[in-house]
Amino acid sequence: MSRNYRAELVGVFGNPVDENPTGVVEEAAFAEMKLDFRYLTIKVEKENLCAAMSGLKAFHMRGINLTIPHKVEVLKYLDELSEAAKIIGAVNVVVNRDGKLWGENTDGKGFLLSLKNEKAEVKDKKIVILGAGGAAKAISVECALAGAKQITVVNRSPERGQDLVKLISEKTGAESRYVSWDRTFEVPSETDILINGTSIGLYPDVNSKPDINYDTVTSSMAVCDVVFNDPNTLFLQEAAKRGAHTINGLGMLVNQGAMNFSLWTGREAPVAVMENALKKEFGL
């Protein structure tokens, strides 16, 4: 009887990527489901993405995650996109379907599920998001599609911020506005949900926090961070001091990891196992 010694390969392309714990989550799920898959954490610099995507096909990899700085640039190498990815204009997971590369964005979906699990409602709420990059764009669009009343995009680059506002206005029913982040940002008192959609605070930049007036954060707000390493960011620590309901990036990471698992394997993800693996990794 012949045996198959070849594992199915998936992974992540990014830079920085050394501290990305997604592999811990996915490998725990593969072990639980007794699947011969391996998750590779691969450093790919911006100028080498084309070669990396060719390698994905050459190695017959089942798929790949994309993180900074590749979520938008990868679009040019894909054959098909999900409807959500078309609207968002960024991809964080690719599935290799017999040599055809299909892209999806699970950032926003994973984020919304983490809010739901924390009993934080999006519908009819006023949301402020810091940043307008790939993750911020995905989250903004998904929040708008979920019925957010108003989304304020705060970003240093006017072009990128205004483009996101235009996208939200044209593709969803949510009211949207852009605020230039050219000075310390004052969070509007009527804000329901404040989101750090930037990479500020991501390892090794753990001693940094977004430039906002933290005394404008109130106890009536839910304050969320997409940063997962370290999950206890200075941004969230400052918000917690003001009595806000804080939500770290671990839930978003687990939820999108579960979606990625299902896309690559066709199996339902063991979410509890994945969550426990991540908590153990971070000593929570």
DSSP assignment of 105-145 equals: --HHHHHHHHHHHTT---TT-EEEEE--SHHHHHHHHHHHH
| pLDDT tens-place string over residues 242-259 | 999 999 998 898 999 999
For the cut 80, the answer to whether the pLDDT of residue 1 exceeds it is no
Residues 33 and 139 in one domain: no
Residue 3 lies in a domain: no
Residue 194 lies in a domain: yes
Cis peptide before 21 (omega within 30 of 0): no
Residue 32 lies in a domain: yes
Residues 227 and 130 in one domain: yes
Residues 226 and 271 in one domain: no
| pLDDT tens-place string over residues 110-145 | 999 999 999 999 999 999 999 998 889 999 999 999
User: How far apart are alpha carbons 75 and 94 in whole angstroms?
Assistant: 10
Residues 97 and 157 in one domain: no
Which of 224, 188, 230 shows the shortest CA–CA distance to 208?
230
Segment among 33-37, 102-106, 185-189, 204-208 with least mean pLDDT: 204-208
Residues 218 and 145 in one domain: yes
Residues 205 and 171 in one domain: yes
Residues 202 and 232 in one domain: yes
CATH classification of the domain holding 54: 3.40.50.10860
List the alpha helices (DSSP H) in the chain: 22-32, 49-58, 83-88, 107-117, 134-145, 158-171, 234-241, 250-265, 271-281
pLDDT of residue 93: 97
Residues 232 and 259 in one domain: no
Cis peptide before 230 (omega within 30 of 0): yes
Contact (CB, 8 A) for 189 and 218: yes
What residues contact 80, with CB distance under 8 A and at least 6 apart? 100, 101, 102, 103
Which of 238, 259, 250 shows the shortest CA–CA distance to 284?
250
Residue 209 region by backbone torsions, left for phi larger than 0, else alpha for psi between -120 and 50, else beta: beta
| pLDDT tens-place string over residues 84-100 | 898 888 899 999 999 99
Residues 244 and 259 in one domain: no
Residue 135 lies in a domain: yes
Classify residue 154 by its DSSP letter. E
Residue 225 lies in a domain: yes
User: How far apart are alpha carbons 42 and 125 in whole angstroms?
Assistant: 38
Question: What average pLDDT does the structure give for the chain?
Answer: 94
Crossing angle (nearest 10°) for helices 250-265 and 271-281: 130
SS percent in the chain: helix, strand, coil, step 5: 40, 20, 40
What is the DSSP pairing of strand 245-247 with strand 175-180? unpaired
Residues 183 and 220 in one domain: yes
What amino acid positions are annotated as catalytic residues? 71
Domain count, the chain: 2
Residue 141 lies in a domain: yes
Residue 268 lies in a domain: yes
| pLDDT tens-place string over residues 189-219 | 999 999 999 999 988 889 999 999 999 999 9
Residue 1 lies in a domain: no
Contact (CB, 8 A) for 184 and 214: no
Helices and strands counted in the chain (H then E): 9, 12
User: How far apart are alpha carbons 152 and 94 in whole angstroms?
Assistant: 29
CATH classification of the domain holding 135: 3.40.50.720
What is the DSSP pairing of strand 100-104 with strand 93-97? antiparallel
pLDDT of residue 90: 87
Q: Which domain holds residue 164?
A: 108-248
Percent of the chain with pLDDT over 70: 100
Residues 128 and 97 in one domain: no
Residues 224 and 121 in one domain: yes
Average pLDDT over residues 137-163: 95
User: How far apart are alpha carbons 17 and 192 in whole angstroms?
Assistant: 32
